Amino acid sequence: MTSDKAKQPGIPIAVISDGKPGHENQSLGTAERVPNSNVILLRHKLREGLKEGLLRAQVGLSGGRIVHPRALLRYAFQESEINRLVAHSPRAVIAAGTPSASLCILAGRLTGAKTCICMKPSMLPLSMFDLAIVPAHDNPPDEPNILRTLAAPNRVSPENLAKEADRWWDELPAGDRIVSWIIGGPSASARFDETHVLGGLLETLVWARQHGWQVWLSTARRTPVSLEEGIAKIARGYPALTWMLLWHRDQRNPLYAMFARSRLAIVTSDSVSMIAEAASAGKGPLVYQAGASTDPSAKPSKHDRMLENLIEAGYGAQASTSNDLLEKMQRLITGKEEFPVLNDTDKAAERLFELLRD
């Protein structure tokens, strides 16, 4: 359980976050799965740019020999937050994403804690960290301090799924024949076609009405408002869509409750973090291609490689057309094809726990 109280029983761990949900969930998920962990969270507003780049260069060029880590931490934190970090006496500091990487190293040097980075930061060698948790699609080297994963760690656990199911119980409809639709949006690393996504959703709703299933739906921060408006318009004509949350109206996250209650999760292919969460919940996922097909001779992106690695390892399926989507959905909900639970987060926490016991 996350706590901000210093010097409580357990293994003290500090998480440094830029506030982005995907980054924060990776770090918190790893920290919270360490047995008997006592976690504090420190958020900063440092973003990639001149100020952050200079700080990262200074830390990188130091080779880890940082004389005044407290002074450099003031680039991102108030003195009171630095004092809270020191008072917590962390044995490990965890961060994810490039803007938090140098701060993780500085916090480790200030407190004597082990440092753990999730993802591969830019311009900072992984050798500077005691542990680096890096997805295979980033092609990390085979080094003793590197743990290679299929996807990103997250906060999905049986306890969190049950907790969220209870918290949302009165709001979500009754029933167990449920397919969840999770929709992301455009990103720098993935294509996104609103018409294509809406077409797959409509076919799912028609199928659900014919076969007596419910469809629950959630959009996300990156979902275009125009797509949310389109979903709201069609909702009135498709009774199988029994519940939906549109991010730009509600700004809440129901995903864990949806995963806990649904038989299958359909996730648009743009969102690495939501795909990893669905896989960690054992709900497939069935990844629906969010963009139109591209030149097959084009070199796969990191994002494409992550999906390929995940699916080749048996943790999901992918559909590029609405017909393909319905066929694979039918196989999954009838039990003709099942997926195991992705346990990357457990592996990351176990590796960190071993490091702290040494």
> With bands split at pLDDT 50, 70 and 90, how would you rate the model's confidence at 304?
confident
Pairing of the two strands 317-319 and 286-288: parallel
pLDDT surpasses 60 at 1: no
What DSSP letter does each residue of 39-100 carry, written as one string? Answer: EEEEE----TTHHHHHHHHHHHHHTT--S-HHHHHTTTS-HHHHHHHHHH--SEEEEESHHH
Tell me what pLDDT residue 333 has: 85
Strand-pairing partners, residue 215, are: 179, 241
Helices 272-280 and 302-312: angle between axes, nearest 10 degrees: 10
User: Which burial class, exposed, middle or buried, applies to 160 when counting CB atoms under 10 A from its CB (0-12, 13-18, 19+)?
Assistant: middle
pLDDT per residue as tens digits for the range 204-263: 999 999 999 999 999 999 999 999 999 999 999 999 999 999 999 999 999 999 999 999
Tell me what pLDDT residue 190 has: 82
Break the chain into its structural domains and give their ranges: 11-150+345-357, 158-333
The answer to whether 239 and 309 have CB atoms below 8 angstroms apart is: no
Tell me what pLDDT residue 178 has: 97
Task: Decide which of 153 and 190 is more confident.
Answer: 153
CATH hierarchy code of domain 158-333: 3.40.50.2000
> With bands split at pLDDT 50, 70 and 90, how would you rate the model's confidence at 65?
confident
Alpha helices in 129-246 (DSSP H): 158-167, 194-211, 225-235
The answer to whether 104 and 115 have CB atoms below 8 angstroms apart is: yes
pLDDT per residue as tens digits for the range 313-324: 989 899 999 999
C-alpha to C-alpha distance for 78 and 76, rounded to whole angstroms: 7
> With bands split at pLDDT 50, 70 and 90, how would you rate the model's confidence at 295?
low
- Domains 11-150+345-357 and 158-333 in one fold: yes
Mean per-residue pLDDT over the chain, rounded: 92
C-alpha to C-alpha distance for 90 and 111, rounded to whole angstroms: 7
Element (H, E) at 110: helix 98-111
Q: What are the residues whose beta carbons fall under 8 Å from the beta carbon of 118, sequence distance 6 or more?
A: 23, 26, 27, 30, 94, 95, 96, 97, 133, 134, 152, 153, 348
Cis amide leading into 158 (omega within 30): no
Provide the token pair at 90. 């962390």
Please say whether the structural domain 11-150+345-357 has been given the CATH code 3.40.50.300: no
The answer to whether 281 and 165 have CB atoms below 8 angstroms apart is: no
C-alpha to C-alpha distance for 51 and 66, rounded to whole angstroms: 18
Strand-pairing partners, residue 11, are: 37
* pTM, two decimal places: 0.88
pLDDT surpasses 50 at 5: no
